[in-house]
């Protein structure tokens, strides 16, 4: 992908593999504790708490990698484009809001969610993997803005990383998520 070096992608996939491995370890441990009826103490509670971090780190990266690899151009006739216009007034206003969300100081994720209850599209800042996700919302487009996602190629220039991200969005995948 243009704007993403092999080194950056390899490092990012290695980090993702850690989330997968830890998720599987925690699920197996929790199952064993449940089977042994050991669910009332910290030996169960602490891995249960940690599961949210590892699982969400795994899943967010899967969404992130999944919505990359495209040409960055959205089909202006697709339902997603029309929904963006209806919710933000224009595609440019949505893009401005999504990018501004991604440029906020700190580590985290910029995520376009759809509220399942009313269908509204909303851009959210997610600080940590396991906190801040809006209840009842479905993630459609995920941009990783943790330092590991851009610093190897862009140093502190998050703005150029975001431009590269947008040039590689696979809008067909995002549209499929809307339709699910």
Per the annotation, binding residues for Mn(2+) are 12, 61, 144, 148
CA–CA distance, 94 with 38 (Å, rounded to integer): 48
| Partner residues linked to 115 by β-bridges | 137
Sequence ranges of the binding site: 12, 61, 144, 148
Helix residue ranges, H only, 36-170 = 42-66, 79-88, 91-103, 151-154, 158-167
Cα distances (Å, whole numbers) of residue 83 to 11, 120, 139, 178:
35, 8, 15, 10
């Amino acid at each position: 992908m243009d704007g993403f070096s092999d080194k950056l992608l390899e490092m990012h996939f290695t980090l993702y593999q850690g989330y997968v491995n830890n998720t599987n370890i925690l699920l197996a441990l929790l199952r064993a504790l449940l089977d042994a009826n050991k669910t009332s103490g910290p030996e169960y509670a602490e891995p249960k708490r940690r599961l949210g971090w590892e699982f969400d780190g795994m899943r967010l990266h899967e969404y992130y990698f999944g919505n990359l690899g495209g040409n960055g151009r959205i089909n202006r006739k697709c339902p997603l484009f029309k929904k963006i216009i209806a919710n933000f007034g224009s595609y440019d206003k949505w893009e401005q809001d999504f990018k501004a969300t991604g440029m906020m100081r700190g580590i985290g994720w910029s995520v376009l969610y759809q509220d399942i209850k009313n269908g509204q599209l909303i851009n959210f800042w997610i600080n940590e993997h396991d906190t801040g996700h809006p209840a009842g919302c479905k993630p459609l487009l995920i941009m990783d803005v943790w330092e590991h996602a851009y610093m190897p190629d862009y140093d502190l220039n998050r703005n150029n990383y975001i431009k590269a991200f947008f040039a590689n969005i696979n809008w067909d995948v995002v549209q499929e998520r809307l339709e699910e």
